[in-house]
């Protein structure tokens, strides 16, 4: 099969029309995807620079989720310490209230102290977030990583707020409470609050002395609890700062990748309109070139 020879004018117009069609196809692709650089073929340097930024953003987004979970774990522990402090304050109120109660009421107060101590232990046991409890053992810990760098992290050690280590004397030494029934005596009273006979002045004075000692010990316990709570709160603040930074950093990285690859839709729209106009002109030009050859054909008729 022989090839058809085209005149130089027709061939030039045809090549121009093909190039315009290719540019229209590319522009339409940019408008549909929103990307000026969609593959290494478009611009290898910009494509891989943008990919590097996007990959970094994805990695940090995964770290952001871990930081967010760390904030939740610490918030759980903080909420628990607030509740524990409320229970200890109730214990102080029970001790103070027993000063003016009769023997039966003081017996009830002893039971209340035991129940409150029991509830503190139960609260500590329940302060778990995704299997992690930062209040029932110093062996527990929360490790939050901020990036792929090995030293970019925060490690939060757990606390032992179990009843056996939680209640302190005025020197800060644990009272080693292992039974709720013994809480009154370990706070400084005799076996129970009802043992005291308020009809005797000496017994009343002894009770008030024991009550003062118990309240001092509970105050010391609250003071230590607040110190641990402040440490937890400080770590929450650190994580929150890192969380906010990571969110902003991910946005910056994604914006940077977009600057390298995103198409200017306004510009591409204008380009499409101009290319379509050029395509129409090319078709007309090709038709004019063909008419010139048809004129030569007319000479043979």
- Radius of gyration in angstroms for the set of CA atoms belonging to the chain, rounded to a whole number: 40
Q: Considering its fold, how many domains does the chain have in total?
A: 2
Residue 301 has pLDDT above 60, yes or no: no
Q: State the average pLDDT over residues 217-221.
A: 96
Structural domain includes residue 273: yes
**Model confidence, pTM:** 0.74
**267 and 255, same structural domain?**
no
253: domain CATH number? 1.20.1330.10
- Give the pLDDT score at 47: 79
Structural domain includes residue 44: no
Q: State the average pLDDT over residues 17-24.
A: 67
Q: State the average pLDDT over residues 224-230.
A: 96
How many other CB atoms sit within 10 Å of the CB of residue 18? 11
**176 and 164, same structural domain?**
yes
Residue 191 binned pLDDT confidence (cut-offs 50, 70, 90)? confident
**103 and 130, same structural domain?**
yes
**155 and 30, same structural domain?**
no
**15 and 72, same structural domain?**
no
Structural domain includes residue 141: yes
- Give the pLDDT score at 40: 76
**29 and 90, same structural domain?**
no
**82 and 68, same structural domain?**
yes
Q: State the average pLDDT over residues 259-272.
A: 64
Structural domain includes residue 76: yes
Structural domain includes residue 171: yes
**166 and 107, same structural domain?**
yes
CA-angle at 150, arms to 145 and 156, nearest 5°: 45
Q: State the average pLDDT over residues 16-31.
A: 65
**163 and 288, same structural domain?**
no
**217 and 170, same structural domain?**
yes
Structural domain includes residue 285: yes
Q: Which domain holds residue 20?
A: 9-34+263-296
**157 and 22, same structural domain?**
no
**270 and 161, same structural domain?**
no
Structural domain includes residue 102: yes
Residue 64 has pLDDT above 80, yes or no: yes
Structural domain includes residue 80: yes
Residue 299 binned pLDDT confidence (cut-offs 50, 70, 90)? low
């Amino acid at each position: 099969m022989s090839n058809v020879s085209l005149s130089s004018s027709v061939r030039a117009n045809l090549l121009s029309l093909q190039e315009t069609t290719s540019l229209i196809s590319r522009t339409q692709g940019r408008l549909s995807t929103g990307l000026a650089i969609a593959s290494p073929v478009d611009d290898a340097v910009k494509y891989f620079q943008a990919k590097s930024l996007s990959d970094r953003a994805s990695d940090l987004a995964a770290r952001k989720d871990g930081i967010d979970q760390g904030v939740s774990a610490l918030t759980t522990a903080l909420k628990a310490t607030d509740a524990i402090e409320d229970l200890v304050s109730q214990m102080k109120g029970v001790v103070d209230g027993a000063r003016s109660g009769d023997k039966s009421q003081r017996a009830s107060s002893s039971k209340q102290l035991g129940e409150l101590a029991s509830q503190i232990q139960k609260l500590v046991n329940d302060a778990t977030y995704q299997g992690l409890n930062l209040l029932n053992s110093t062996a527990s810990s929360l490790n939050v990583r901020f990036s792929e760098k090995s030293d970019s992290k925060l490690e939060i050690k757990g606390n032992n707020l179990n009843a056996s280590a939680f209640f302190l004397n005025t020197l800060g030494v644990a009272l080693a409470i292992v039974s709720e029934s013994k809480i009154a005596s370990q706070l400084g009273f005799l076996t129970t609050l009802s043992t005291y006979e308020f009809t005797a002045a000496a017994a009343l004075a002894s009770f008030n002395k024991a009550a003062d000692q118990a309240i001092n010990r509970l105050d010391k316990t609250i003071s230590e609890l607040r110190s641990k709570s402040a440490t937890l709160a400080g770590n929450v603040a650190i994580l929150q700062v890192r969380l906010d930074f990571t969110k902003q950093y991910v946005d910056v990285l994604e914006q940077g990748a977009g600057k390298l690859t995103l198409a200017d839709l306004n510009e591409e729209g204008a380009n499409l309109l101009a290319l379509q106009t050029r395509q129409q002109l090319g078709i007309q030009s090709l038709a004019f070139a063909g008419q010139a050859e048809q004129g030569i054909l007319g000479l043979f008729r």
